[in-house]
């Protein structure tokens, strides 16, 4: 039983680390897209996915550290990403984020 538990534990650890490396690689590739562009919408989308990756990363790290403290962080990243991407999209589309005229 205990042996099973240990194996499970190391299995989780190893898969977590593999996941981190995978996510990191994805982050690297996204970074290339963010820097290279070529247009700003490309960068905006890349940044959005970058955020999603970070959400995943935070989750994996929470598993790795055996902690529930980062659940807030994950949720917050989700909300902020949504807001940020909307703002970016609005900016790219209209040039303003907050419109003065509501008509």
Partner 1 sequence: MLLAVLLPFIIAIFIPFLSKWKHKLHTGFFVTAVPVVIFIYFARFIGPGFEPVEREYSWIPSLDMNFLFYLDGLSLLFILLISGIGSLVAFYSIYYLHKSEQLGHFYVYFLLFMGSMLGIVLSDNVYVLYTFWEFTSLSSFLLIGFWNHREGSRYGALKSMLITVFGGLSLLGGLVFMSGITGTASIQEMMSQQELILNHDFFPLILTLILLGAFTKSAQFPFHIWLPDAMEAPTPVSAYLHSATMVKAGIFLVARFLPMLSVSEWFFIIVSAVGIATLCWGSYMAVRQTDLKGILAFSTISQLGMIMAMLGFGTKAAIFAAVFHILNHATFKGSLFMIAGIVDHETGSRDIRKLGGLMTFLPITATLAVIASFSMAGVPFPFLNGFYSKEMFFDAAVTMDLSVTGIAATLQTLFPYLAVLGSIFTFVYSMYFFFGTFRGKANIDELPKKPHEAPAGMLVSPAILVLGVIIIGLFPDLINKPFIEHAASAAYGSENVKDIYYWHGLSPAFIMSITVLVFGTILYLSIPKWASIYNAVPGRLSLNTFYDGLVERTERYSTIITNSYMNGSLGRYVRLILVAIVVVTFGTMALTGGFTLDFGNVSEVTLHEVLIAVVMVIAAIGTIIAKNRIAAILILGVVGYGLAMLFVLYRAPDLALTQLIVETVTVALFLLVFYHLPNLEPHHESSLTKAMNLIISVGYGLLMTMVAISAHSHKMFDTMSSYFVDNSYKLGGGDNIVNVILVDFRGLDTLFEIAVLGIAAMAIFGLIRLRGKNKEE
Phi, psi of 101 (to 5 degrees): -90, 125
Q: Does 97 bind partner 1 (CB under 8 A)?
A: yes
Q: Please pick, from the candidates 20, 49, 63, 103, the single residue that binds partner 1 as defined by CB under 8 A.
A: 20
Q: Please pick, from the candidates 47, 56, 101, 103, the single residue that binds partner 1 as defined by CB under 8 A.
A: 47
Characterize 65-78 residue by residue with b for buried, 16 or more Cβ atoms within 10 angstroms of its Cβ, and e for exposed: eeeeebeeeeeebe
Judged by beta carbon, residue 5 or residue 35, the one nearer partner 1 is 35
CA 12 to centroid of chain Cα atoms: 21
Q: How far is the CB of 7 from partner 1 (least distance, A)?
A: 22
Q: Are 58 and 19 in contact (CB under 8 A)?
A: no
Q: Does 15 bind partner 1 (CB under 8 A)?
A: no
Size of the site for partner 1 (CB under 8 A): 38
Q: Are 60 and 20 in contact (CB under 8 A)?
A: yes
Question: What 8-state DSSP symbol labels residue 58?
Answer: H
Give the tokens for residue 70: 């980062």
Contact set with partner 1 (CB under 8 A): 17, 20-21, 24, 27-28, 31, 34-35, 37, 40, 43-44, 47, 50-51, 54, 57-58, 61, 65, 67, 69-70, 72-73, 76-77, 80, 83-84, 87-88, 91, 95-98
């Amino acid at each position: 039983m205990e042996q099973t538990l240990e194996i499970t534990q190391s299995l989780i650890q190893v898969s977590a680390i593999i996941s981190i490396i995978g996510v990191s690689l994805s982050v690297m590739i996204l970074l290339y897209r963010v820097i290279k562009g070529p247009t700003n919408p490309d960068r905006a989308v890349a940044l959005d996915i970058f955020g999603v990756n970070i959400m995943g990363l935070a989750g994996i790290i929470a598993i790795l550290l055996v902690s529930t403290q980062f659940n807030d962080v994950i949720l917050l990243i989700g909300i902020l990403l949504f807001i940020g991407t909307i703002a970016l999209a609005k900016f790219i589309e209209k040039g303003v984020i907050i419109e003065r005229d509501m008509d």
